[in-house]
Amino acid sequence: MTTLMAIGGAMDKESPVVMREFIRRAGGAAARIVILPQASAQADTGEYYIARFKELGAGEAVALEFRQRGAMDTPEQIDQIRDATGIFLTGGAQMRIAALYGGTKLEAELLAAYRRGCLVGGTSAGAAILSKTMIAYGKGGPTPRERIAQFSPGLGFTDKFIFDQHFRQRDRLGRLIYAVAAYPGALGVGLDENTAAIVEDDVALTVCGAGGVTLVDGRQIGYTDVAEVENRGPVAVSNLKIHVLTHGSRYQNGEVFIPEKISLNE
């Protein structure tokens, strides 16, 4: 089984439901988690997550600390990825990850680890980078507009989903609709803060956390003028389907299951 865990950022330290779920799926006390802190501009990001994962019960946690391509692809780094049961990409700026990892041996090893069943997850920028095409930059607002989002290649763990983070908090519905209108083959996944979308086998999605996950499904779009609008004008889209899912809810092949009652502590 392959598993991606895309997290919307700002995970709650007092009620760490999302991080505990990451650790559980990575193996719990037997987990070997590799942290990739390169998206962050803070020098101590790796150390912070090492301490946090161990505090919450992970067996092992290490951070790969480098900021230049010339410091990458060492045998030690590759061995760490090959031994990992969980790989975690931190928040920051997703373009830092794309510009650093693109075309490297480490990028190939990350994809190989994912395909062999290693849990791969990321928060904020680390969530955006998980897809083949990512939202690199953009503006907030409820209405899709020409150039409201700019796209760039991501790490390519999936081409079925495109992730946007801090979703409700930063009013990003318009740019996710724009992304889906531009390519209706991908399901748009808007991640609220302290909330994760867990994608299994590139098909099934389950929600974990305190907020919501907004799914923008464009497979049945009847009409859109996304290719014709200029000068940042509004984009028309018809027959778009939107779901808002919360903790324990599940989506698969267009079908939604919402449990009648489920606790964050279950």
Q: Where are the domains of the chain?
A: 3-247
Are 211 and 194 a contacting pair, CB within 8 Å?
Answer: yes
- Sequence-distant (≥ 6) Cβ neighbours of residue 145 within 8 angstroms: 174, 178, 229, 232, 233, 234, 235
Percent of the chain with pLDDT over 90: 97
Give me the pLDDT at residue 167, please.
98
Name the packing angle between helices 17-26 and 45-55 (round to 10°).
80
Task: Find the catalytic residue in 124, 131, 247, 249.
Answer: 124
Taking residues 15-28, report their average pLDDT: 97
Task: Find the catalytic residue in 109, 131, 166, 247.
Answer: 166
Total Cβ atoms within 10 A of residue 98: 20
Taking residues 195-220, report their average pLDDT: 98
Q: In terms of CATH, what superfamily is 3-247?
A: Class I glutamine amidotransferase (GATase) domain (3.40.50.880)
pLDDT for 61-73, tens place per residue? 999 999 999 999 9
pLDDT for 168-184, tens place per residue? 999 999 999 999 999 99
- Active site annotation includes 65: no
- Gap between the Cα atoms of 97 and 196, Å rounded: 20
Letter string b/e over residues 191-208, b meaning 16 or more CB atoms within 10 A of that residue's CB: bbbbbbbbbbeeeebbbb
Give me the pLDDT at residue 84, please.
98
- Sequence-distant (≥ 6) Cβ neighbours of residue 221 within 8 angstroms: 181, 184, 237, 238, 239, 240
- Gap between the Cα atoms of 248 and 257, Å rounded: 9
Helix (H, G, I), strand (E, B) or coil at 233: coil
Percent of the chain with pLDDT over 70: 100
Taking residues 107-114, report their average pLDDT: 98
- Active site annotation includes 146: no
Give me the pLDDT at residue 266, please.
62
* pTM of the shown model: 0.97
Residue with tokens 């930059």: 137
Q: Is the pLDDT of residue 265 over 80?
A: no
pLDDT for 111-162, tens place per residue? 999 999 999 999 999 999 999 999 999 999 999 999 999 999 999 999 999 9
Q: What are phi and psi of 31, to 5 degrees?
A: -70, 145
Taking residues 244-254, report their average pLDDT: 96
Task: Find the catalytic residue in 60, 107, 193, 247.
Answer: 193
- Active site annotation includes 124: yes
- Sequence-distant (≥ 6) Cβ neighbours of residue 245 within 8 angstroms: 205, 207, 212, 213, 214, 215, 251, 256, 258
Query: Mean pLDDT in the chain?
Result: 97
Are 35 and 61 a contacting pair, CB within 8 Å?
Answer: yes
